[in-house]
Structure 1
Amino acid sequence: MSEMKDMIVDVVERMLKEKVDKELVDTVEQGHWAPELWDLFKENGMTAVAITEENGGAGGDIEDLLNIVRLTGKYAAPIPFAETTFANYLLEFTSLQVIEDLATYMLCPNQAFTLENGKLTGEAMQVPWARHTKHLVTLAHSTEGTHLVEIDLSQAEIKLSTNLASEPRDTVIVNHAKVSQISAVLSYDKIHAITTLNTAFQLALMTGAVDKINDLTVQYTKEREQFGRPIHRFQLVQQHIVHLAGETAIALAAFNNVTEALQTNSQNSEVAYARIRFEEIIQAVTTIAHQVHAAIGTTHEHSLHQFTRRLWSWRDEGVSTSYWTHFVATQLLENSGDSLWGYLTSFSASSPLLKVEG
């Protein structure tokens, strides 16, 4: 990252260290809201990052934004920052007007929402933070094709629910709701680009959580003593820590490769590789962390579960790994002739499957 990007990350991390603790996360998991934290992000212009100044944003690029999202994952920040910024990023991406209020999104599978005469009808489950937001950005299907639309959620019936991490994941029901904005018909390539961006945001959140779990586990092995010495002095524990550090390094390298690829518009393969590899990362990281922490890591008093539950929840949301494995398989089949070697080696220098940065 550039010096300016480093400065942005440092400012956000200081804010999160000061304002987000286990008690705040617990409070929001019980159904409350964190207005002070949201106002702090908004007042400091973080919700406008990666939106052009012409559209009222703060400028910056997708790398800036994804690194802020990564930090919200690292501190389990209980606000819909990723959802609001992604919703606005999609609006600008499809040449619509960005919005200033809290927003969320849902990329609905199986034609969950239908659009007819400017009215939206349908039902979507697991909509992030719907109860606290004012706008929904979603895909809608008409007789002409698929569009991106934005509606005011005051027109919707919202049924409250949560995911495994006790984050709001509500059901939104609309019946002939008036659409505030509608895009032109989206091509397959544009829909795939939206899916790719959505996965990149999820990878940012998961990378932050993996990084935090590694920090918590290393710290615990230095504090916990057994047989008169810290447990990190035992060879078996050291083996666990080395494995955990390796998976964390792979996660960070994969995330960095994704942000770099997004900047150069070659994101498809990097996002696919990263999302596939994260299945193994999440399994290894959560297993090792809970083994090392033992029983205390599962108690409410310890903060570890706040991050492992989020990892498990975020892994199961959005586009699944099977989508990306199918994408990679299709790419390989299309290049299975004389061009296969060139296809494989063209990604070898930056693939998160092969590259780990210290």
Structure 2
Amino acid sequence: MLQNDIDFLILGGGCSGLSLAYYLSFLPNNFNILIIENKLLYNNDKTWCGWRINNHAFLSCCKTFWYSFYFKKANPYYSIITSSIPYENIRSIFFYKKVLNRIQNIYNIKSYNNKIINIKEYNGYVAVKLTNGKYKNARWVLDTTPKPINFSSYSPWKYQTFFGIELYSTKNFKFFSTPYLMNFYINKYLQYNQVNFIYILPLKTNNFLFEWTIFFSKDVFFIKTLFKFYLNLQIGKSNYQILREETGHIPMAYITNKTTLKNLAQIYGCYIRTSNGFSFHEIQKWAIKCAYNISINKKLILPKISYFFIFLDYIFMKTIELYPKISLLLLTNIFYKTNSDSLIYFFTNYYKFLDLLNILFFIKPKFFLLYTIFLNLFN
């Protein structure tokens, strides 16, 4: 066996890797922990949104949150959804700074800038080869880096692609003062059998985040072109200034990760509910448990989603794929008919039995969902 120069190696300094390192920094351990990240500088490259069911360690990174939002399916019709649970917006740059400021003062956590070429597991340790030709050997390795995923043609698991623009407007648009969580009206302009929606977040006076999301596609150029055309129509080309752009692909899939749960664990997207795509708060729940298990029990653990939710999400995503024209009806009925708090608890995996009954009772049209279940049971 080669001599391990590291006890615990975290591959990838994104939300998952840094969250785990942050919580490890507060727990008693004498491990040598190393984070390997390819990027040289951290910037405001992402926005994480979701419902805050419980307080978390990064409340100071949340600069804006709301208790009500619009849900729009047709012009001029929309609903105002009100909840007792805040929907929050977290800028990635504040998260990065908080974690990096914390771990730079912790003697046993270091970071290293390089790119991973290969990972190989041996008996009792893992060897990681880097682009500079060096190897890093560790007792445990957690690989959080994005990986290409080939979905089968039958599987409903696909990518959710988003493109966002944060802008400053020279005019004060009062109709953007309340966030639009989902605006499906844009589908009117598209002869395109995929789910599209825009959400709009008022960050502060005259400062907004617009983001276009599409299921089942990775064509960023298509989204970007249509999005800027949409903004020019809504706001006027001369009435706004682009402050920054963000884009990404989220695997809307239940991913089975190869791991021995002893030395190597590979995670990517397996903490995401495929029916909603919210990840930040799920990552925090997993990172706290994983950090505790590493420090106390000397074991890695993976995020877990119950098989019940996997089944529900599978049927929901398959129905959207098979019947794209009724998918908007399914989505809008869920928001219009269901108690807001019950819906939020369901999406965030904090539901109680009555919340589940509320969802199952009001989701319509049920025929398509039941037919999808029938197809999967008898094919």
Larger radius of gyration: 2
- Of Structure 1 and Structure 2, the greater strand share is in 2
- Of Structure 1 and Structure 2, the greater helix share is in 1
User: When the two structures are superposed, what TM-score results if normalisation uses the length of structure 1?
Assistant: 0.28
User: When the two structures are superposed, what TM-score results if normalisation uses the length of structure 2?
Assistant: 0.27
Higher relative contact order (CA 8 A, sep 6+): 2
